[in-house]
Structure 1
Amino acid sequence: MAAPTKIARLALKYGPVVYTLAQKYGPQVAEQLLRQREPAQRLVSAQRGRTSARRLALRHADSVVDGSLQQVFHAGEAYWVVFSRNEPVGSHPHTNIPYESLLLNADPLRRVRPEELRRTVHLPRRGRR
């Protein structure tokens, strides 16, 4: 750790330079930070929307008779289509696109039950000593 006298000497030497640069470039730096923040927030909210749609689809598939679900893509967006027996009953996130166009090129063999799709991690238990 630096001695307090050395820190004070450096502050006196470089303080005015740092102060003038902060006055000159401070607003530009603050604006740049705010600009870079918006794309990151959009990415995080989009990711949160995708995971909540998956969670809602799992919950919906649990609530119907012989529920299963399948992830399909339409116009670059991911949708979870929920089935009851072999009939589509819902999609998450909700869309007005008909099920026929969502499932046009979908493989029915890729449909899964909610139990198979849940992400569960089984960690080994610590042994008692």
Structure 2
Amino acid sequence: MAATNLAKLALKYGPIVYTLAQKYGPHLVEQVLKNREPAQRFVHDRTERVRSNPRRRALDHAESVVEGSLQQVFHRGQPYWVVFSRGEPVGTHPHTDASFDVLLMNADPERRVTPQELRRTVTLPRRPRT
């Protein structure tokens, strides 16, 4: 039954689809090829950012230094984690060429936290099995 309906639809709309594909097909292919590069770059940037996880790397770095602490700052719309050792900045995650002075220009030093305060351990209640 479904095969006969499909055959009827193919006979009815087949010529229309064929003429539209001939008319608009080259434009469609051109647009797909033109917009492929930005889409691939966007996907690559997102997967790379998730893979590297700058927050986790900054936490590990802050735990490895003496009296480590860290603070999140924003530079040119991007978040960065600045790692401190004894109150002096020692690194940023992800890496940037901006100096510590530029990154910390308007940052509030009261917002620095230790890795123990920042680590999130959330336990969610489990639903009892029935």
C-alpha distance in 2, partners of 1:42/1:119?
31
Identity, % of aligned pairs? 66
Q: CA deviation at 1:69?
A: 0.8
SS of 1:59 mapped into structure 2: helix
Q: Deviations over 1:28-77 (max 9, x none)?
A: 22332344444444444444455522222122112222221111123333
* Cα separation, partners in 2 of 1:96 and 1:8, compared to 1, 3 Å: closer
C-alpha distance in 2, partners of 1:124/1:19?
57
Which segment drifts farther, 89-98 or 26-35?
Answer: 26-35
Q: CA deviation at 1:78?
A: 2.4
Q: CA deviation at 1:119?
A: 4.1
* Cα separation, partners in 2 of 1:110 and 1:37, compared to 1, 3 Å: farther
Root-mean-square deviation (CA), in Å?
A: 2.5
Which consecutive residues of structure 1, in runs of 5 or more, have no partner in the other structure? none
* Cα separation, partners in 2 of 1:119 and 1:32, compared to 1, 3 Å: farther
Query: Paired residue for 2:56?
Result: 55
In structure 2, give the amino acid aligned to 1:74: H
